[in-house]
Amino acid sequence: MPAAQPDPVLRNLVATRRLMAWFLAPVFVLLLILSSLQYRQRMAEVEAQQQRLAEQHAQDLQLLARPAMDHVQDLRRLMEELWLQPPDPGPALAAQLAPREVGGRADGWAIADPAAGLRWGQVWWAEPDGRPFDPLWLRRAAAFVNQARVAHARAPGFEATWFAAMDLNSSFGYPWIEPATILQSMGVAALRELAPLRAAAAARTRARLAAQPPAIEDAGASHWGPPYRSQLAGHLVVSHMAPVRVGAQIVGEVSLDFRLDDLQARLRAWALPGERDWIVDAARQVLADTEQGPPGEQQALTGWASRAPDGLAEPHLRAALDQGPQSVGDWLLVAATRPGSPWTYVSAVPRAELRARILPSLLPNAAIALALLLGLVAAQWLLARHFVQPAMQLLAYLRALSADHRAPAPRLGRRWQVWVDSLGATFAHQFHLLQRERGSEARKSAILDHALEAMVSTDAAGHIVEFNPAAEQMFERRLDEVRGADVAELLIPPRYRARHRAGLERLAAGAAPSLLGRRLEMHALRRDGSEFAVEMVLWRSELDGETNYTASLVDVSERQQARQQIERQRESLRQAEKLSAMGSLLAGVAHELNNPLAIVMGRAGLLDDKLQGSPLQADAQRIREAAERCGRIVRTFLNMARARAPQRAPVALNDIVRAAADMLAYTLRSHGIALELQLDPDLPPLMGDADQLGQVLLNLLINAQHALAEKSAGEEPRRIVVATGVEARRPGGREPRIWLRVQDNGPGVPAEVRDKLFEPFFTTKDEGLGTGLGLSVSRSLLREHGGDLHLEGGEPGRRGASFRLSLPISGVPEPQADDSDAQPAAERAPLRLLVVDDEAELAALMREALEGAGYEVATAESGAVALALLLEARFDAIISDLRMPEVDGAELWRAVQALHPALARRMLFVTGDILSPAAAEFLRDSGCPALEKPFKPQDLLAAVRRLPLSAPEEDHHDAQR
Ligand code: ADP
């Protein structure tokens, strides 16, 4: 696991703590320096104080020594005076003296107070040399002892004071000591035995004094001896001695034994804890030592050097006396003495002890440092408790909130709770805003993702940042491949790129955005490099100083094509309108031609009949045929032009072919096109709308004619073949059908347009020539008939185009046997017919034709006349024109219907007006048959024969009514 990165906030905190520590460090250092300086100063002070104390003790010692020395000098002077002026033996003296005896022999006297039983002193007198005792000595001794007794009473440290005669075996002293004790202490049995010892001592004194002559003559050349244990009381003492001189002769020596226990006691009293103190004499013999046991204890008398702690030696002591305190090893050595003082005070203090004394004075510093330290720790603790920890918790809360706005809030102190609450509230608010923004974002991106329009956004430099799915589809590129790419490189055709970039630069330079917000038509580039037309709206958005351009694009290439197509269709419609206007005009003309044509045809027919066998018959026949052809053309044209509901009736397809061929014969011929008909003579009739089928055939023929017009001269002759036939019936296959093929040897249909041929408005022809409706209308008409239309083969350059249609032949009613044809009308009672036509010629023609067939015919030149005739005579049927002035055909029928309802059912209308909707409607409502002008006499006869001309009873009933 990788080591966890320390929290930056924690790092920060640690750094802050470190900073505080660094801030405090100099204070500590300063404190340390100050303390060290103070320590040194205090140490120096302590050393000086030690020195001062030593000086003081040295002075004390001098003061202690002074009485002893004065005492000895006083006695010395006394003895010198007594020597020169011998004292009077007072009366009291004898009383004071008591002979002293040792071993039964008097060898001295005790100086005593017999009354009190006290003995103060004693006098020794030995007579080894045989000299008698001189009483002068007793007087001297008494004076000496008395003075010594007074001094001793004042100075408790004085052990004993003696005078020893130099040349005599005699001495005296204070206090009284049992002679036995003295002798025992000296190791002799009798005083006399002391003589040699005394002589030796005197010799030593003399030698000493000779070696060390007294500096001041009358100072008495006093002298301190080494310490020793007094043989009398066992005390440690030191002797102070002064020679008694008489003239140049030393006659004796005064000595004082000074007890050292007092010095010892004082030294102990002076000693400070931890110290090692000594009092030494000039020869460095130790007189008192703080480590010495209490008085009376066995004590070694040694030199200072052997007692001093390790490392301390005489030179150090010397230096201490001369130069002041000395540091030796771990010791501070101080020593002091006074001029004339016999003793030196020496003190050694361990440094540790000194430090221990100083340290209390440094306590304030330590206290300050400690306080600072504690302050720091406390500050850290307080900081941690009251700021850092809550702040960390707050931070943790902040982090938790940023992940989940419902993170549980920590419970912090009152001061921090405000922060917690406001953080929670702020995040909740933020979250709410974010939710709203997200919702809006989601809606917008849903809009963007599902928009039908392509959306492309770029930054200010033209780099793509957004590309919605519609754009992906439009440009055939994916978002991840175009993101960041230059929009100009990818989506704009090369020839517009420079302009696009220049525009962007102008915008960046602050030019007014002229293109923004407007609908623009431009060209865009697909992945394969093909261009297509788009309509675009461009807008600019600014966010945080960042500019984006967004384009909404619609592919308008199809719309443009559609617009062009509509334009073409509109043109076609204009053309069609023109044609239809011309059609109705031509229809009017054709209608007007009907009557004369009907007359020509009728008359030619009659003529033909009349001229049978005559050489003129052929001429009459030609006229009739030409007239019939005219009739067919006019009828076909009128059929085509009339607007009427499709009617299914038995139709002979071959006739329709012939009619169409007749109609186009001239046009084809004038274009050098040969039309060849290969019609199956046994073609059965089919149920269909002759007009519609004629229209289909005309379309196919006109298309072929147009195609052949493209053929250049010199190629094979232009030819159209129309063929019909019956489809071979396949076993189990469909019902039998008939087919018709229109084939030309024109350029044929290019492979790429074959599929579109039957689409409405598809045309390859120039404006004004084609409408693109012909084939599609033809196919739908044929499909209504249960048939179909196909393009066969048709490879260019080979066989031209060949269109084949097929139609079912089922549903045709069996043709009824026409008995009227079989039985001539003349054999029956002649039927009476009324012919009504305002065109007298036509009426006459019809009458002639009908009479020729054996009918009895009356004519009426108007409806009104016809009604009058009907009232006068009975008729079996009426043949009437439809359009007549005043009472027209329809009015006549209504009148007949009222008079003779049966007769009304036997009315045949001849009309050239089937074009008009009113006429068509009347014919449908009345149910009467109609015969279109122009017609052949046979047609008329056939139509008359189809009328229900029997049932005379019914007629009779009608007549009676
Ligand atoms: P229109 O004749 O008004 O163009 P059509 O639907 O009748 O409309 O014909 C559609 C297209 O079919 C024609 O424009 C032509 O290109 C093609 N076409 C029709 N007949 C032939 C043909 N016999 N030979 C070659 N092309 C033909």
Lowest-confidence region among 49-63, 69-83, 121-135, 730-744: 121-135
Residue whose CA is at the smallest distance from ligand 1 atom 12: 757
pLDDT value of residue 788: 92
The alpha carbon of 613 and the centre of ligand 1 are apart by a number of angstroms equal to 50
pLDDT value of residue 952: 46
- Tell me, yes or no, if the pTM score tops 0.75: no
The pLDDT tens digits for 454-506 are 999 999 889 999 999 999 999 999 999 999 999 999 899 999 999 888 888 88
How confident is residue 440, by pLDDT bands cut at 50, 70 and 90? very high
Residue whose CA is at the smallest distance from ligand 1 atom 11: 763
Lowest-confidence region among 593-597, 922-926, 952-956: 952-956
Query: Quick one: what percent of the chain has pLDDT higher than 70?
Result: 86
pLDDT value of residue 2: 46
How confident is residue 852, by pLDDT bands cut at 50, 70 and 90? confident
Higher pLDDT, 10 or 834: 834
Give the tokens for residue 223.
Answer: 């002298």
Q: Can you give the C-alpha Rg of the chain in angstroms?
A: 86
> How far from 607 is each of 613, 620, 627, CA to CA, in Å?
12, 6, 13
Pocket test for ligand 1, best of 575, 673, 775 (most atoms within 8 A of CB): 775
Count of residues for the chain? 961
pLDDT value of residue 535: 92
d(Cα 73, Cα 254) in Å, to the nearest integer? 8
Higher pLDDT, 733 or 820: 733
Higher pLDDT, 585 or 55: 55
pLDDT value of residue 640: 66
The alpha carbon of 690 and the centre of ligand 1 are apart by a number of angstroms equal to 23
The pLDDT tens digits for 13-38 are 788 778 887 887 888 888 889 888 98
Q: What is the mean pLDDT of the chain?
A: 82
Which atom, in ligand 1's list, is nearest to the CA of 702?
2
- CB burial of 708-729 (b: ≥16 within 10 Å; e: otherwise) equals beebeeeeeebbbbbbbeebee
Lowest-confidence region among 73-87, 320-334, 572-586: 572-586
User: What are the structural domains, with CATH classification, of the chain?
Assistant: 16-66+261-383 (3.30.450.20), 83-259 (3.30.450.20), 451-555 (3.30.450.20), 649-808 (3.30.565.10), 830-960 (3.40.50.2300)
Q: Using the predicted structure, report yes or no on whether residue 218 has a pLDDT greater than 60.
A: no
Higher pLDDT, 921 or 729: 921
The 3-state secondary structure of 763-819 reads: CCCCCCCCCCCHHHHHHHHHHHCCCEEEEECCCCCCCCCEEEEEEECCCCCCCCCCH
- The mean pLDDT of 64-77, rounded to a whole number, is 90
The alpha carbon of 763 and the centre of ligand 1 are apart by a number of angstroms equal to 6
How confident is residue 819, by pLDDT bands cut at 50, 70 and 90? very low
DSSP3 helix / strand / coil % (the chain, rounded to 5): 50, 20, 30
d(Cα 142, Cα 704) in Å, to the nearest integer? 199
Which atom, in ligand 1's list, is nearest to the CA of 704?
23
Give the tokens for residue 591.
Answer: 């209608």
User: For 501-596, where are the E strands, in sequence order?
Assistant: 519-525, 531-543, 546-555
- The mean pLDDT of 751-767, rounded to a whole number, is 84
d(Cα 950, Cα 946) in Å, to the nearest integer? 11
Q: Using the predicted structure, report yes or no on whether residue 652 has a pLDDT greater than 80.
A: yes
Q: Using the predicted structure, report yes or no on whether residue 858 has a pLDDT greater than 60.
A: yes
> How far from 903 is each of 730, 895, 897, 908, CA to CA, in Å?
50, 11, 7, 10
Which atom, in ligand 1's list, is nearest to the CA of 772?
8
Which atom, in ligand 1's list, is nearest to the CA of 800?
24
- CB burial of 515-536 (b: ≥16 within 10 Å; e: otherwise) equals beeeeeebebbeeeeeebbbbb
The alpha carbon of 694 and the centre of ligand 1 are apart by a number of angstroms equal to 17
- The mean pLDDT of 595-606, rounded to a whole number, is 84
Residue whose CA is at the smallest distance from ligand 1 atom 26: 749
Q: Which of the 8 DSSP states describes residue 546?
A: E
Lowest-confidence region among 435-444, 590-599, 697-706: 590-599
The pLDDT tens digits for 356-391 are 888 888 888 788 888 888 888 888 888 888 887 888
Name the CA dihedral angle for 775, 781, 787, 792, rounded to a multiple of 10 degrees. -10
The alpha carbon of 689 and the centre of ligand 1 are apart by a number of angstroms equal to 23
How confident is residue 734, by pLDDT bands cut at 50, 70 and 90? low
Which atom, in ligand 1's list, is nearest to the CA of 764?
14
Give the tokens for residue 930.
Answer: 């109609």
Which atom, in ligand 1's list, is nearest to the CA of 777?
6
pLDDT value of residue 701: 93
Beta bridge partners of 674: 719
What is the layout of strands, in order, in the sheet containing 158-165? 97-102, 105-113, 118-125, 170-174, 158-165, 249-259, 236-246, 223-229
pLDDT value of residue 648: 82
Name the CA dihedral angle for 135, 139, 142, 144, rounded to a multiple of 10 degrees. -120
Higher pLDDT, 60 or 953: 60
| Contact between 194 and 267 (Cβ < 8 Å) | no
Higher pLDDT, 141 or 525: 525
The alpha carbon of 701 and the centre of ligand 1 are apart by a number of angstroms equal to 10
d(Cα 476, Cα 490) in Å, to the nearest integer? 11
pLDDT value of residue 649: 83
Which atom, in ligand 1's list, is nearest to the CA of 771?
3
User: For 222-372, where are the E strands, in sequence order?
Assistant: 223-229, 236-246, 249-259, 276-280, 286-289, 326-328, 331-337, 344-350
Which atom, in ligand 1's list, is nearest to the CA of 699?
7
pLDDT value of residue 509: 84
How confident is residue 763, by pLDDT bands cut at 50, 70 and 90? confident
Q: Using the predicted structure, report yes or no on whether residue 892 has a pLDDT greater than 50.
A: yes
The alpha carbon of 643 and the centre of ligand 1 are apart by a number of angstroms equal to 25
pLDDT value of residue 90: 59
For ligand 1, residues with CB inside 6 Å are 699, 703-704, 707, 744, 746, 748-749, 757, 762-765, 770-776, 801
Q: Using the predicted structure, report yes or no on whether residue 730 has a pLDDT greater than 50.
A: yes
Residue whose CA is at the smallest distance from ligand 1 atom 21: 703
Residue whose CA is at the smallest distance from ligand 1 atom 2: 770
pLDDT value of residue 807: 92
How confident is residue 108, by pLDDT bands cut at 50, 70 and 90? low
Higher pLDDT, 640 or 764: 764
The pLDDT tens digits for 261-313 are 888 888 889 988 888 999 998 888 888 888 876 555 555 577 888 888 888 88
Higher pLDDT, 9 or 470: 470
